Amino acid sequence: MKNGLLFGTAGTPLSSKSRSSVDGIRRIRELGLDCMEIEFVRGVNMGQNTARDVIQVAIENGIKLSVHAPYFINLNASDREKLNASRERILKSARICAVCGGSDVVVHAGFYLKNTPGKAYRTIAGQLKELSDILSAENAGVTLRVEVSGKSRQFGSLTEVLSLSTEIDGVAPCIDFSHQHAREGKDNTYDEFVIILQRVEKRLGREGLDNLHLHVSGIEYTDNGEKKHLNLQQSDFNYVELLRALKDFDAKGRVICESPNLEGDAVLLKEIYMAMS
């Protein structure tokens, strides 16, 4: 039976021989996982030579790769310098991702600051369109995955992310179900997960459900949203019902686990999913 969903970790598994991405990929394979997201969240710290090693090891081990761009990005920044630095961080992440053979670059698009959500949306959409055009002119072959954010002051509601994905070629959603739960204070039951998947299908068609990029972890939150990530079993996040909904929709794509125990929860999610009929 072919797997609908691939499971992996956000960054090199904790039990890898070293912190390198190459050792991380080998460990993903040993753990029986399928994919890995390379974390450039504090900066793009990989050179071309390492990236060429990474693609080779990923191919040898049959592991699919994606990249998470730095956190310090605000495509809604009014300061020109900050905006240009944000654009460069995305382009640099995407270019290295392409050399690694990765297909998707996860991006936190920015903050509303003092703008209305509508104005922030238009600014960010304009920037993403330009970035996507640059990358497609370079034949980078990567999709920019705008992430659903975990905080209400941070751009990236599910509605915004789905609209960007409909409007701009080369942009698709990264649905972080834990963020969505923390941001909205709900969206943690089978029926609510179903509604989210129906919204994806309505906006992006069956194709959207065949090529999902998901983030999952336990999460602690306040009225303002995300506070910190937790291991799944220490949180209230209803991951079994999420997996059930994904299975019932025959959803395909990748599930990246961002729990503090990384591979512990990634393996847990995969085992539960594989046991479902």
Binding site for Zn ion (CB under 5 A): 147
Neighbours of 110 (CB within 10 A): 24
Closer Cβ to Zn ion, 40 or 112, answer by number: 40
Q: At 239, list the tokens.
A: 């991951």
Element of type H or E holding 10: strand 5-10
Name the residue with the smallest CB distance to Zn ion: 147
Least Å distance between CB 228 and Zn ion? Answer: 13
Q: What is the DSSP letter of 169?
A: T
| Side-chain half-sphere CA neighbours of 155 within 13 A | 31
Number of CB atoms found within 10 A of residue 75's CB: 25
Choice between 147 and 160, CB closer to Zn ion? 147
CA angle 152, 214, 241 (to 5 degrees): 90
Q: Which residue number, 147 or 263, has a Cβ lying nearer to Zn ion?
A: 147
Residue 99, helix vs strand vs coil: helix
Q: Considering the complex, what minimum distance in angstroms separates the CB of residue 106 from Zn ion?
A: 6
Closer to Zn ion by Cβ: residue 239 or 249: 239
**Distance of closest approach, residue 161 Cβ to Zn ion, in angstroms:** 12
**How far is the C-alpha of 64 from the C-alpha of 22, rounded, in Å?**
13
Closest CB to Zn ion among 147 and 265?
Answer: 147
Min dist CB 137 to Zn ion, Å, is 26
Q: How far apart are CA 229 and CA 218, in angstroms?
A: 6
Helix (H/G/I), strand (E/B), else coil: 241? helix
Question: Coil, strand, or helix at residue 97?
Answer: helix
Give least dist CB 121 to Zn ion, A: 19
Please say which residue, 41 or 196, places its beta carbon nearer to Zn ion: 41
* Smallest separation, CB 276 to Zn ion (Å): 26
